[in-house]
Amino acid sequence: MNPITRRHFLQTTAATLLAAPAARAIEPLGRTGKARLQLSLAAYSFREFFAGELQRGAGKKGPAPGASMDMFKFLDFCAEHGCDGAELTSYFFPKALSADYLVQVRRHAFLKGVAVSGTAIGNNFSHPKGEKRDAEIALTKQWIDRAAVLGAPHIRVFAGQTKELDREAADKLVVAALEECSDYAGQKGIFLGIENHDAIGSAEHLLKLIKPVNSRWLGVNLDSGNFRTADPYKDFAEIAPYAVNVQLKTEINPVGAATKGPQPADLPRFVKLLRAAHYQGFVALEFEGKEDPFKAVPPVLKRMKELFAA
C-alpha cells in the first residue's frame, strides 16, 4: 500500500470541507405521514391593545384607548378560545424584561394548557457590515436565549431592508447572518424561521436566501398574506415543504388583481395546501384586519379549528 502523503491528506481534507456546506444546504424538511395542524394565535393580532413600556409596542398609532393586554391576559384569551399554542411576539414583552418574567409567562402558559408555539422578532440582517448589523445579530441571539427560557421552539426572523446596499449584496449578508444565528439557535434546540416579509415577496426570493444556509435549524415562517405575486397560493404551496411555522392571515395581496387592495383569503385552500405538504406543526392566526380583534378573532379561530379537524 502506498503511504498517504501529507500533501495528499491536506488536499483531500480541504476538498471535503469545501464540499460539506453544499451537501448540508437546506432542503425540504421531508415530512411524511398525515398532516397535523395545531391551532395557535399570534400576539401581534392584538398589537394595539398591549399596554405599558414595551419592547416595541403598537407603532406610530400607539395603544388603543383602554388598552390593558399583557402576555398573561393574552394566554388567557388563547386558552378560552381553544388554542393549542400561543405565539408570543417579542414586541409586546416589557421593555425592562427579566428572566423571572419569562419564567412566570412559561408557568402561566403551562397551567393554562397552552404551548408557547414560538416568538417573533423584528430584526434587520440587511445592514452593511458594522455596528448596526452586529447589533441585529446580538439581538437575535438574545432572543434565542429568551426563547429557551420560555420553552419556545421557534423564532420568526426577518431579512430586513437597507438603502445602503443593492439587494444582491444585502442578501449575501442575510445568508451569512442566518447561518451564524441558526448555528447558535441549534445549540439550544430552537428553529429559526425566516418570513416572506419586507424585501422578500416571492417564493423564488425566499428560496435564494435559505438554500445556501448550512444549518438543520433554519426553515421558513410561512406567512400566507405576505406574498406579493400574481398567485400567492402558488408561492405558498412551493414554500410549504420548508415551513417550520405557519401564519395564516384573513387577507392576501395578489399583484395585478382586478380589484385593488387586500382580497379575502381562501382559508380552506391554504389548509388543503398544508395537508398536501404533510405539514405537521403550529398554524397561527395573525389577524391584521381593521376590525376589533376581540370580536373578529374568535370566529376565525373557530373556522380554523373546523378546517383542521376536517
63: pLDDT confidence band, cut at 50, 70 and 90? confident
Grid coordinates in use for 72?
Answer: 398573561
State yes or no: pLDDT of 58 exceeds 80.
no
Tell me the average pLDDT across 209-233.
Answer: 96
Tell me the average pLDDT across 211-219.
Answer: 94
- The CA distance from 48 to 64, in Å, is 5
Model pLDDT, residue 263? 94
Model pLDDT, residue 5? 52
- The CA distance from 229 to 201, in Å, is 7
C-beta separation of 43 from 50 below 8 A: yes
- The CA distance from 128 to 304, in Å, is 41
State yes or no: pLDDT of 109 exceeds 90.
yes
State yes or no: pLDDT of 81 exceeds 60.
yes
Region of 67 (left: φ > 0; alpha: ψ -120 to 50; beta: rest) is beta
Model pLDDT, residue 97? 97
Q: pLDDT of 153-165, one tens digit each?
A: 999 999 999 999 9
25: pLDDT confidence band, cut at 50, 70 and 90? low
Model pLDDT, residue 14? 43
Structure pTM?
A: 0.90
Grid coordinates in use for 22?
Answer: 453544499
Nearest to 40 by CA among 83, 6, 100: 83
Please tell me what DSSP assigns to residue 196: S
Q: Please give the CATH superfamily to which domain 32-260+274-309 belongs.
A: Divalent-metal-dependent TIM barrel enzymes (3.20.20.150)
- The CA distance from 303 to 280, in Å, is 19
Model pLDDT, residue 16? 42
In the chain, what are the domain boundaries? 32-260+274-309
Tell me the sheet residues that pair with 115. 85
